[in-house]
Structure 1
Amino acid sequence: MFKTILACGSALAAITLCSAAANAETATQPASKGADTSEEAGDIIVTGSTRAERRFDVSYAINTLNQDEVAKIAPVNMADLIGQLPGFQTEATGGEVQNIYRLRGLPSDGSFVAFQQDGITLFQDNDGYFWRGDALIKYDLMSDRLEVVRGGPAPIYASNSAAIINQITVTGSDTPRGKAQVTLGDTGLYRLDAYQAGPINSNTYYAIGGFLRYHDGYRDNGFPNDKGGQLRANIKHDFDNGSIKLSLNYVNDHNVFYLPIPVADPTDPSVSLNKYIDYFTGTLNTPELRNVTLQYRDGAGNIQSRNSDLSDGRHMQMVNVGLQYEGEFGDWLVSAKGGYTQGKLDFAALYSTTNPADADTYAASFLTKAQTAFGSDVTSLGYVYAGTSTVYDPYTQSGLVMQAQYRDIHSKFYSGQGDLSVARTFHTGIGEHDIKVGLYAAAYGESRDVIYQNYLMQVAGQPALLDLVAYSSSGAVLGAVTDNGVLNYTTTLARGDTDATMYGLYGNDTWTVLPGLRIDAGIRYEKYHYTGWAAQTEQVNLGDATTLADDTTRGYTGTIINRKYSPDSINWTAGVNYDFSGSVGIYGRASHLEQPYSVSAAMSESTPSNITTKVNQFEAGLKLRSGRSYLYVTGFYSDFDPLNSSFLAYNPATGRNDQTVPFVGKAQIKGVEFDGHFQPVAWFSLTGALTLADPKYKNFENAQGADPSLAEGNQIVREPKIYGNIRPSFNFTSGGTDISVYGRYTYTGKRYVDIYNNTAMAAFGTFGAGVTASHGSWQLQVVGDNLFNAHGLTEGNTRTDGLSGQGSAEAIYGRPIYGRNFRLVVSKSW
């Protein structure tokens, strides 16, 4: 109860003046009642800016995507959508949520990217425990548009952020409107989106909508991939000088996670495994893990167990209530935003570990251990289907066996956050200053309850679990390496909880020196306080003499480790913009971002390094605009220091990824991004994004004898030097029906899975196309992705290959891109 009160208090502290402000009398002109931002704003943006401005006028890189633009891109998930923007390199192959977002080569899987709704986050940290913002705010018809800031003032307007992805929600207006949309896909996708918005009275408006979805999946799990949905609603009331809006979000959604699969035989990489595990539809997810038993020892020395179901996937349940106020008081603009979020995540997934191995070689590696455990009478080891005596001969198939790690994670979280700011324009003898100062505060926390354990299985899609059995010379069973498919019970065990508070003070000054010339600068100071605990664990033997599976199990000692941390950070930015005319402009910017360790550090059994990551970013841009066409070219340079790259290697003695090889250095990334739209006539347009970058490791050191020179100057893991897309569109009218035909080509350059750049993931490109026909209030769309079934790998196998690769020049283990698929979308507006 105290946590809830504290979090709600932080959220509401910033909006205590709302009722007084709402009733105050001012001399300002009445605001437009219920204005529909999507219809009136055009390229007006609000993210990262003191006031609403034209995109062309600001001194940083930002993109806006409205519903029509998103529909033509037809993304399979949020990462696929954001990956069409310059500077963003994303991996959209993990499923609907929790994908990879990287900005301009920064070596982070998403912790530097803030997800916001109407300018405020729903959870203080950018990364929750095994989830991030795309699990809390999902795109649907209640998303009026996206505003995405790259670099620029992001560190001032969001915590720990080099980028902001801000969903602006639909709000009501004087004109009632709505839309219903049905999406059907050949991957077993069934989805319903709908929203309705309009007036309640002359000053009050509402909007409500969301989606329901069922999806078998892009890969064949043997059970549904996604099921659930989202509901969002808001009520907005206009005053003579501003407005107040109350909003509600509710998410209850299951999303199965895709992990890497082997695509070639590690004993002979020229041999494809496609006939056993299909490149486009295969997955190690299997119905045999629908009823998993997890065993561990509790702090009192008792053996405990719990059950888990892989088909639950990532089950996110979340509710958020938000309140926003904005009002003008003479020359003052007052803004107050607050919200409270509470939810829980239940997460089950099967993670890849080591490469497949020759079945006989793998079995022979356990012979000595089996003889020690079950006696010298053990003469051979053989495979049976898990839990049975039915013999399995790997050489009737691939001749390989493999292991994977089942992860069962449960986390509860809460976050109350509030932001209060005031802005005023001051006229001086040299231009004018638009100054904004603000206070941000949050109280938040999360818990974790984690078990990992390893399984032995065949190399196949939806693989069968296997037991490795010890035989005597007479064929008698003397014991087993595994237990009903379990290779190692509970290799990782963790339990803990953290509560945190933080406050941030920020300010920004936009100085219009003279028409066309603007200088802006901002600073943000943040102070954190974490209080948490973690349950201590140790390696134990659970005592079952018939199997080796429980010999190296983690158990609780009964000791609680208490932690407190109080990090802080200072972020700043400064930029200059000069517009020669309404069509040509240039800008430059420098920014400094500091990211202390996250809230999870205080509930970790191991002591985190007290290192604050610092990122210095420099940008220079050229802006060109003519009619409906534009081109933005931005050169960038980022210095990421320190880069703590600790690579974990699999330890067969413990069944854990606990062999650590730490490198400490920094990353330097320089590049240029192109963001263009060419529309010479109304019926044709060409939109594109291209990023050229050189992401490098620099000045690495290792205290354990590894040679850091092997990594010096190498390409950063999983980061390409070139990526982008091009999207043509043709529009015409026939018989009263508006028809749009469009395509998309997306390219990702070569990347490496390891810091030594030994194993490469080849470059790939995919084609997509669609057609939309609109007649009156009805619209029909058919869209297809990866039309030519291009092959492409992402990620690699990060559990084991991050240091020295996969033993091959080309990756033989990774997350393949999705194969050819089609969707039919039918909608009606009113």
Structure 2
Amino acid sequence: MMKRKNTLAHSWVIGALYAMACPAFAQTVAAEPPAVPAAQAGEEAGVATVVVTGSARPQRRFDVSYAVNSLSQSEVQKLAPQNMADLLGKLPGIQVEATGGEVQNITRVRGIPTDDGLALFQQDGLPLFTEINGFFFRGDSLNRYDLMTKNLEVVRGGPASIYASQAAAIVNSSTVTGTGTTKGKAQVTLGTTGLARADLYQAGKIDDKTFYAVGGFVRQDDGHRDNGFPNDRGGQIRGNIKRVLESGTLTVSANYLNDHNAFYLPIPIADPRNPAVSLDKYIDYFDGTMNSPSLRAVPQKYLDGAGKLQTDTRDLASGRHLEYGNIGVRYEGDLGKWQLSAKGGMTKGTLDFDAFYSTSNPADATAFANGFLGAAKTAFGAVDHLGYAIAGSNGAQVYNPAAASGLVMQGQYRAASSDFYSNQADINITRNFETGFGNHDFKLGLYGSGYGQTSKSVYNDMLIEVQGRPRTLDLVAYSAAGSALGYVTDKGVLHYTSTLNQGDVDARMGALYMNDTWEVMQGLRLDGGVRKERYHYDGYALLTTQANLGDPTTLADDTTRAFTGARQEHKYNTNTVNWTLGANYDFSQRFGGYARMSHLEVPPSMQVAATVDPLVLTTKADQYEVGVKMNAGRSYLYVTGFYTQFNPLNASFTAFNPVTGRNDQTVPFFGKAIVRGAEFDGAWYLSERFNINGSLTVQDPQYKDFVSATGADPSKVVGNQIIREPKVFGNIRPSYHFNTGDYLVEMYGSYAYTGKRYVDFFQATELPAYHSFGAGVSLSRGDWKLQIVGDNLSNAQGLTEGNTRTDTLSGQGSKEAIYGRPVFGRSVRMVLSKAW
């Protein structure tokens, strides 16, 4: 796939920053009363907030029988998240690993032992892509937060499986639309990571019945880790036109995103020969990364189906380059006594993905070289010894590992590309029926989608030094006289095309769903719903074989993967049935309780139809929830106990084989996951000026009834803590505001904690608990606002992920992890905004 130039000029960002920042506080501002925080404006935050996601009609959050949070634009700005995962991680019941960069992070919803938490992202109640994950992109890659986001609602469990496909949770963003009053906002964000971002939106009326809204962002960021090139660059623009009709409203919308995002992978932090020895002097804990300018022109060689040599040159600085457009239409109105909602959307886009993945642990340089001595002698003759050189120097620039760490390491350059599309429509009708036994809000809906994607992935194994922004290395075969006889590597490539996959799939699905909310009497509501889905996948995968590309000067091309010219066809049909039952009883206006059970079935991803010999598996999750809710003025507390049975849990993984350089060691583990726990979500207003918000999740995520086909004893896994999932996580956020003259000052802090986790099934290697402190202050006068916020102010250390390519089965050979993705270090951002 051709590489695309970024069409968003950096000069736009600089110009916007200058134009907005200069007059900020130099301009005379009318002496108006300072803006009042939303929680002070009479709304009982978290109680009277109206939610629309997972409900037949808009309801107060206090009245629904499931766990849901709603965040307004001002609340999100106060939280000042570094990325979408960071934002979601501040909510109860959601554990995140927000260390991979701006997008494609790990988001786990309580009770669901998957890296995406089966959380479906929606925009105005409709997904931009039908499945939770595309090929190397997730919902947070498509759904970007900006000033056009009016509010964000997150449903965990409950009726999520009825109102969305494949979803144990829903993350729904509502878009700003125009009103009779023209309004807008401009915002500039500058950060210590080299962040420069400009956001802008405006909404108003075209005529008395037609309204508009348009906005977006442009951004460049050098990133939390030193890649040697910008981390993120690009932007988004979206808008809509709303027409008020006699019977309802018709809205037409459009999105366009063109963005590059670098991906951070785990780094080694200690010497595997002696885990007590830190590698911080070589790879800085907070700043270091294996991303490097040395990986900006990586060749990838393979034979196509006709036996012709293909060579692609990839640039790591391109990162995850996602470009897509979406056009949507929605109608909300009356159809006699029924309320009609009709939504449709068309999304089409491309993905080019370049990332440098961690593989095996660093190795002693001498032992690593000796491991190739036999093969080098066979290939090149009278080889006396092997030595290292800087890649591409033809052996002239000698590299001596003993003068540095004494280590070398492998990494895997992964390049992937995809064209994707998703057309989806949802039509539902709602009616309220009054009966002699209370009233019913009944909803009946149809959802349909046609979607698909191409997929191609090529992996190279590279040899690098143990250093931040590492140089690639060549391993040279020398004669006794010191002459270079050949190369184990080829300009830093240890194995060309150790992985090669290509396929195509088209999918069709349809769903019929219904839900009834029955208000039996005042304070008592029962609800139930069911969703029936049918899927059809039609695709193929190209077959590959091992091939020698025939270069006698190097071993790097001896065992590449090559296309055979044949392909494997796949057609799959599958059905799923989801259901939910819930009850809510309010004992008083300040105290209530609810209970719910839900059943979710998730079909295999459509990518199974583009995979050679795929594993076709439908996952089922039974979720049980019991909650209590209390409020006193603006103070509130929601407590939800949960119990989930997840079956089957496919914990199989494909491990990296350092000998072959391939991800060819399939380790099958199957069983169940049982997760018990409780989530707490509360706010305590000690006075008009001082309040404390917080969330806490306590859980026991366990493996149950495991089976292994590798000889490992699965009984030693049963009862163990699920990999990378903590038993305790949460945060607390105090806030204080006061007036001084014409200014409103808000000060706030945050403390976040993530408990101990493990990298492997057998709990051999621990990811220690970690915490972080943050703080912020904002100064508002009239329509101007200046905010300064800092994260991890104490530079507290913490590891996420581990090294999943190699450590999942047996750990890392140490009690505590010596390889992982560290949390980001201290960073500060300044946000300046002007509303009108």
1:406-805 → structure 2 map (5 Å cutoff): 406-605=413-612, 607-805=613-811
Question: Within 1, Cα distance between the matches of 2:402 and 2:654?
Answer: 31
> Which residue identity does 1:173 align to in structure 2?
T
Please say if residues 199 and 215 of structure 2, whose CA atoms lie closer than 8 Å, have aligned partners that are also in contact. Answer: yes
Q: Is the 8 A contact 1:750 1:761 kept in 2?
A: yes
Distance in 2, matches of 1:615 and 1:296, equals 42
Q: Tell me what 1:387 maps to.
A: 392
Please name the residue that 1:34 is paired with: none
Residue in 2 aligned with 1:166?
Answer: 172
Q: Deviations over 1:17-51 (max 9, x none)?
A: xxxxxxxxxxxxxxxxxxxx999996001000010
Verify the 8 A CA contact 1:154 1:161 in the aligned structure 2.
yes
Is 2:109–2:117's contact at 8 Å kept on the other side of the alignment?
no
Q: 1:600 & 1:610 partners in 2: Cα distance?
A: 10
Q: Which amino acid aligns with 2:337?
A: D
Checking the alignment, whether the CA contact within 8 Å between 2:152 and 2:172 is kept in structure 1 is yes
Q: Deviations over 1:186-208 (max 9, x none)?
A: 11000000100111111211110
Match of 2:153 in 1: 147
- Aligned partners of 1:62 and 1:521: how far apart in 2? 17
Choose the corresponding residue for 2:78, options 72, 78, 84. Answer: 72
Matches within 5 A, 1:141-290: 141-290=147-296
Looking at structure 1, the residues matched to 751 and 397 of structure 2 have their Cα atoms a distance apart, in angstroms, of 49
Q: How big is each residue's C-alpha offset from its partner over 1:103-146, in whole Å with a ceiling of 9 and x where there is no partner? A: 10421111611000011100000100000111111001111110
Q: Which residue of 1 aligns with 2:56?
A: 50
Query: Quick one: distance in 2 between partners of 1:806 and 1:77?
Result: 29
Equivalent residue of 2:366, what SS? Answer: helix
TM-score (norm 1): 0.94
**AA in 2 matched with 1:386:** A
Give 1:771 shift.
Answer: 0.2
Cα-to-partner distance string for 1:604-638 (whole Å, 9 max, x where unaligned): 12x22232100000000001011111100000000
Match of 2:365 among 352, 359, 370: 359
Aligned with 1:378: secondary structure?
coil
CA contact (8 A) 2:656 2:663 kept: yes
Distance 1:181 1:393 in 2: 50
After superposition, the C-alpha distances for 1:461-492 in whole angstroms (9 at most, x for unaligned) are: 10010001111111111111100000000011
How far apart are the structure 2 equivalents of 1:454 and 1:174? 59
Q: Supply the distance in 2 between the matched residues of 1:515 and 1:241 (Cα, whole angstroms).
A: 31
Partner of 1:8: none
> Using the alignment, how far apart are the partners of 1:651 and 1:463 within structure 2?
22
Moved more, 206-215 or 98-107: 98-107
Deviations along 1:382-404, one digit per CA (max 9) or x if unpaired, are 10000112110011111100010
* Aligned residue number for residue 31 of structure 1: none
Equivalent residues of 1:73, 1:744 under 8 A apart: no
**Contact (CA 8 Å) 1:111, 1:127: kept in 2 or not?**
no
Greater CA deviation, 304-313 or 538-547? 538-547
Indicate the SS of the match to 2:553. Answer: coil
> Whole-Å Cα distance in 2 between the matches of residues 671 and 603 of structure 1?
38
Q: For 1:661 and 1:221, locate their aligned partners in 2 and report how far apart those are by CA, in whole Å.
A: 33
- Other structure's SS at 1:538 match: strand
How far has the Cα of 1:268 moved from its partner?
0.5
Q: CA deviation at 1:562?
A: 1.0
Q: How many percent identity over aligned positions?
A: 59
- Write the letter of the residue equivalent to 2:240: N
Question: Matches of 2:817 and 2:744 in 1, distance apart?
Answer: 46
CA distance in 1, matches of 2:113, 2:595: 23
SS at match of 1:573: strand
Unaligned runs of 5+ in 2: 1-37
Query: How many matched pairs?
Result: 792
Farther off after superposition, 649-658 or 106-115: 649-658
In the alignment, residue 723 of structure 2 is paired with which amino acid? Answer: V
Q: Offset of 1:706 from its aligned partner?
A: 1.5
CA contact (8 A) 1:647 1:662 kept: yes
CA contact (8 A) 2:190 2:829 kept: yes
Equivalent-residue separation in structure 2 for 1:111 and 1:77 (angstroms): 17
CA distance in 1, matches of 2:306, 2:679: 58
For 1:105 and 1:724, locate their aligned partners in 2 and report how far apart those are by CA, in whole Å: 16
Segment drifting more, 488-497 vs 236-245 = 236-245
Shift of 1:184: 0.5
Which letter maps to 1:526? E
Distance in 2 (CA, whole Å) between partners of 1:418 and 1:774 is 42
Q: Given that residues 647 and 803 in structure 1 are in contact (C-alpha distance below 8 angstroms), is that contact kept between their aligned partners in structure 2?
A: no
- Length-normalised TM-score, structure 2: 0.94
CA displacement at 1:733 relative to structure 2: 0.3
CA contact (8 A) 1:785 1:821 kept: yes
Q: Distance in 1 between matches of 2:189 and 2:799?
A: 28
| Equivalence for 1:26 | none
State the SS of the aligned residue for 1:567: strand
The amino acid across from 1:207 in the alignment is A
Taking the aligned partners of 1:133 and 1:513, their CA distance within structure 2 comes to 38
- Once residues 679 and 390 of structure 1 are traced to their aligned partners in structure 2, the CA distance between those partners, rounded to angstroms, is 66
Q: Which residue of 2 aligns with 1:101?
A: 107
> Is residue 111–residue 643 contact of structure 2 (8 Å, CA) maintained in 1?
no
Matched ranges for 1:283-298 at <5 A: 283-298=289-304
Residue 414 of structure 1 and its aligned partner are, at CA, apart by 0.3
Deviation at 1:325, TM superposition (A): 0.6
For structure 1, the 5+ residue unaligned runs are: 1-36
Contact 1:111–1:126 at 8 Å: present in 2 too? Answer: no
Q: Helix, strand or coil: the match of 1:440?
A: strand
Question: Is the 2:608–2:615 contact (alpha carbons within 8 Å) kept by the matching residues of 1?
Answer: no
**Any idea what the Cα deviations from partners look like across 1:571-610, whole Å, max 9, x if unmatched?**
00000100011111100000000011011111112x2223
1:539 shift after superposition: 1.0
Q: Is the 8 A contact 1:496 1:603 kept in 2?
A: yes
**Matched letter for residue 225 of structure 1:** N
Q: Which region of structure 1 is more displaced relative to structure 2, 744-753 or 641-650?
A: 641-650
Tell me the secondary structure at the aligned position of residue 657 of structure 1: coil
4+ residue runs over 4 A deviation: 37-42
Task: Report the Cα distance in structure 2 between the residues aligned to 1:800 and 1:567, rounded to whole angstroms.
Answer: 33
In the alignment, which of 400, 411, 424 is matched to residue 404 of structure 1?
Answer: 411
* 1:240 CA displacement: 3.5
Q: 1:115 matched to which residue of 2?
A: 121
Question: Structure 2: which amino acid aligns with 1:783?
Answer: V
* CA–CA separation in structure 2 for the residues paired with 1:43 and 1:693: 28
Q: Return the letter of the residue paired with 1:384.
A: A
Structure 1 residue 151: deviation in Å?
0.4
CA distance in 2, matches of 1:587, 1:260: 42
CA–CA separation in structure 2 for the residues paired with 1:658 and 1:80: 33
Aligned to 1:344: 350
Contact map agreement 1:97 1:135 (CA 8 A) in 2 = yes
